Chain A
Amino acid sequence: MELSYKNIAPFLTAGQNKVSRWLSYLGLGVGVLLLLSSVQMYTNINHLIRDKNTRKNGTDFISITKTITNENMGRDNRFTDADIKELQRQPFIEDAAPLKANAFKVSANAGNMIPFSTDVFVEGLNTNFIDTVPDNFKWNEGDEFVPVIFSTDFLEMYNVFAPSWDLPQMSEKTASSVQLFLLCHGRNGDRQYKARIVAFSDRINSILVPENFLAQQNKVLEGVDNIPASRVFLKTRDANNPQLLSYLAGKDYHINKDKTKFGRVKGVLQAVVSGLAGFGVLVILLALVLFSFYLQLMIARSKDNLQLLLTLGYSPSWLSKTVAKKWIPVYVSIIVAALLATQLLHLGFQHFVTPARGELPIMIDWTVLVIAVLLLGLSVAINYRLVKKSLTEL
Chain B
Amino acid sequence: MQISLQQVVPDFFETGKANGSQLWNQDIAFSTGENVHIIAPSGSGKTSFIHFLYGLRKDYSGNILYDNNNIKNYDAEKFATWRQQNISIIFQDLRLFTQQTVSQNLEIKRLLAPYHRESRITAMANRLGIEGKLTKLCSTCSYGEQQRIAIIRALQQPFDFLLLDEPFSHLDENNRQKAMELMQEEATERKAAIILTDLKKIDYFKAERLLYL
A316 touches B76 (CB 8 A): yes
A314 touches B100 (CB 8 A): no
> Which one of A1, A309, A316 lies within 8 Å of B108 (CB-CB)?
A309
Q: How far is the CB of B70 from chain A (nearest CB, A)?
A: 19
Interface string of A1-38 (1 = CB under 8 A from B): 10100011011000000000000000000000000000
Partner-contacting stretch, out of B7-15, B77-85, B139-147, B192-200: B77-85
Q: How large is the interface on B (under 10, 10 to 19, 20 to 34, 35 or more residues)?
A: 20 to 34
Q: How far is the CB of A78 from chain B (nearest CB, A)?
A: 79
- List residues of chain A with CB within 8 A of the CB of B82: 313
Q: How large is the interface on A (under 10, 10 to 19, 20 to 34, 35 or more residues)?
A: 10 to 19
A313 to B78, CA, bound (A): 9
- List residues of chain A with CB within 8 A of the CB of B108: 7-8, 11, 309, 312
> Which one of B56, B77, B111, B157 lies within 8 Å of A317 (CB-CB)?
B77
Interface string of B94-124 (1 = CB under 8 A from A): 0101001000100111011100000000000
Main secondary structure of the interface of A (DSSP, over half): helix
Q: How far is the CB of A1 from chain B (nearest CB, A)?
A: 7
A314 touches B97 (CB 8 A): no
A315 touches B97 (CB 8 A): no
Q: Which residue of A lies closest to B84 (CB)?
A: A313
A7 to B83, CA, bound (A): 19
Residue from A308, A315, A317 with most neighbouring chain B CB atoms (10 Å): A315
- List residues of chain A with CB within 8 A of the CB of B84: 313
A311 within 8 A of B: yes
Q: Which residue of B lies closest to A392 (CB)?
A: B76
A10 touches B104 (CB 8 A): yes
Q: Which residue of B lies closest to A1 (CB)?
A: B111
A305 within 8 A of B: yes
Main secondary structure of the interface of B (DSSP, over half): helix
A1 to B109, CA, bound (A): 13
Interface string of A307-329 (1 = CB under 8 A from B): 01111111111100000000000
- List residues of chain B with CB within 8 A of the CB of A316: 76-77, 80
Q: Given A11-B100, A308-B95, A308-B97, do A315 and B80 touch, yes or no (CB 8 Å)? A: yes
A315 touches B111 (CB 8 A): no
A316 to B75, CA, bound (A): 10
A315 to B80, CA, bound (A): 5
Per the 8 Å Cβ criterion, residues 269-315 of A in contact with B are 305, 308-315
Q: Which residue of A lies closest to B55 (CB)?
A: A311
B80 touches A3 (CB 8 A): no
Q: How far is the CB of B130 from chain A (nearest CB, A)?
A: 19
Q: Given A10-B100, A10-B104, do A312 and B76 touch, yes or no (CB 8 Å)? A: no
A10 to B113, CA, bound (A): 19
Q: Given A11-B97, A392-B76, do A312 and B56 touch, yes or no (CB 8 Å)? A: no
A314 to B110, CA, bound (A): 12
Q: Given A310-B76, A315-B77, A316-B76, do A3 and B83 touch, yes or no (CB 8 Å)? A: no
A311 to B54, CA, bound (A): 9
- List residues of chain B with CB within 8 A of the CB of A8: 108
Q: Which residue of B lies closest to A312 (CB)?
A: B109
A296 to B121, CA, bound (A): 35
Q: Which residue of A lies closest to B75 (CB)?
A: A316
Q: Which residue of B lies closest to A11 (CB)?
A: B97
Q: Which residue of B lies closest to A2 (CB)?
A: B111
Q: How far is the CB of A158 from chain B (nearest CB, A)?
A: 75
- List residues of chain B with CB within 8 A of the CB of A1: 111
A42 to B104, CA, bound (A): 54
A309 to B107, CA, bound (A): 12
A181 to B81, CA, bound (A): 83
Which residues of A are interface residues toward B (Cβ below 8 A)? Answer: 1, 3, 7-8, 10-11, 305, 308-318, 392
Give me 28 A-to-B residue pairs in the complex whose CB atoms sit less than 8 angstroms apart, sorted by A's number: A1-B111, A3-B111, A7-B107, A7-B108, A7-B111, A10-B100, A10-B104, A11-B97, A11-B100, A11-B108, A308-B95, A309-B108, A311-B56, A311-B95, A312-B109, A313-B81, A313-B82, A313-B83, A313-B84, A313-B112, A313-B113, A314-B112, A315-B81, A316-B76, A316-B77, A316-B80, A317-B77, A392-B76
Which 4 pairs from chain A and chain B are nearest by CB?
A: A313-B83, A315-B80, A313-B84, A316-B76
| A-B contacts besides A313-B81, A313-B112, 20 pairs, CB < 8 Å | A3-B111, A3-B112, A7-B108, A8-B108, A10-B100, A11-B100, A305-B97, A308-B97, A309-B108, A311-B83, A312-B108, A312-B112, A313-B80, A313-B82, A313-B113, A313-B157, A314-B80, A315-B77, A315-B81, A316-B77
